[in-house]
Chains A and B, each alone.
Chain A
Amino acid sequence: NAGVTQTPKFRILKIGQSMTLQCTQDMNHNYMYWYRQDPGMGLKLIYYSVGAGITDKGEVPNGYNVSRSTTEDFPLRLELAAPSQTSVYFCASSLTRGGGNEQYFGPGTRLTVT
């Protein structure tokens, strides 16, 4: 199993550009999550999904969109990138809901918006 994979590893965007961060898991997990990690701030949940076709907002959803057309894939879309979206983005998955069920994280995407 590859686990959770993310692409790209690094990306530099100009203000106002858009991009999609890709996330794929091969563990047949129902739950998938997108977090952002800022220095000294821990991880903040952006969006999560409980299964194909079902998504919901986390703590910091503004400026982002997600879709979940398959169990394996959970892409994160940034529209009109802003410097405040400079961060490291992690995708994670778990077999069932959190709170006792381990979340498996991908290696992250480091995004810089200038």
Chain B
Amino acid sequence: QQQVKQSPQSLIVQKGGISIINCAYENTAFDYFPWYQQFPGKGPALLIAIRPDVSEKKEGRFTISFNKSAKQFSLHIMDSQPGDSATYFCAASMMGTYKYIFGTGTRLKVLA
């Protein structure tokens, strides 16, 4: 119930393509879903986040799609660039709690 399942484990996309990473959760009490981006040798950094009262959130080339009934959410990176090559983690949390449950990560490589 506390797991967040993330797929795929790795992804290779051509420059200009769309990168899609998926996450699924079980605990319906989760109400905050952030995505973190991590470059090699660096700590994760918040990229974009969504709450379940909206089905989509867009920030520049990054979009989160949220399907509450299916308990799934995904990250879409439009017009993917080589600079987007990084590891992406989804996470889930409950408002007012300390705990984040992280997915296992997706290593994205965008080919020039």
Interface residues of A (CB under 8 A from B): 4, 31, 33, 40-45, 48, 50, 58, 90, 92, 97-100, 102-108
Chain A residues within an 8 Å CB radius of B34: 102
Encode B39-57 as 1/0 by CB contact (under 8 A) with A: 0011111100101000000
Grouping DSSP codes into helix (H, G, I), strand (E, B) and loop, the B interface class, with mixed when no group exceeds half, is loop
Number of interchain pairs (Cβ within 8 Å)? 66
Give B3's nearest chain A residue, CB to CB: A42
Q: Which residues of B contact A (CB under 8 A)?
A: 6, 9, 31-32, 34, 41-46, 49, 51, 89, 93-100, 102-105
Q: Report how far A108 CA is from B42 CA in the complex, Å.
A: 7
Whether B95 and A100, one on each chain, are in contact in the complex, defined by CB atoms closer than 8 angstroms, is yes
6 closest pairs, A vs B, by CB?
A105-B43, A99-B93, A42-B102, A99-B95, A43-B102, A42-B104
6 extra interface residue pairs, beta carbon distance < 8 Å, beyond A98-B100, A105-B45: A42-B6, A45-B100, A97-B98, A98-B32, A98-B93, A99-B95
A48, A99, A105 interface centre (most CB from chain B within 10 Å) = A99
Known A42-B102, A48-B98, A97-B96; judge A102-B46 contact (CB<8 A). yes
Known contacts A92-B43, A98-B100, A105-B43: A42-B89 contact under CB 8 Å: yes
- Which residues on B sit within 8 Å (CB–CB) of A103? 46, 100
- Check A33–B102 contact: CB distance below 8 A: no
- Report the separation of the CA atoms of residues A108 and B41 in the bound assembly, to the nearest whole angstrom: 8
Asked whether A105 and B98 contact (CB < 8 A) given A41-B104, A99-B32, A99-B93, the answer is no
- Chain B residues within an 8 Å CB radius of A100: 32, 49, 51, 93, 95
**Can you pick out 7 interface pairs between chain A and chain B where the beta carbons lie within 8 Å of each other?**
A40-B9, A40-B105, A42-B104, A44-B102, A58-B99, A102-B49, A103-B46
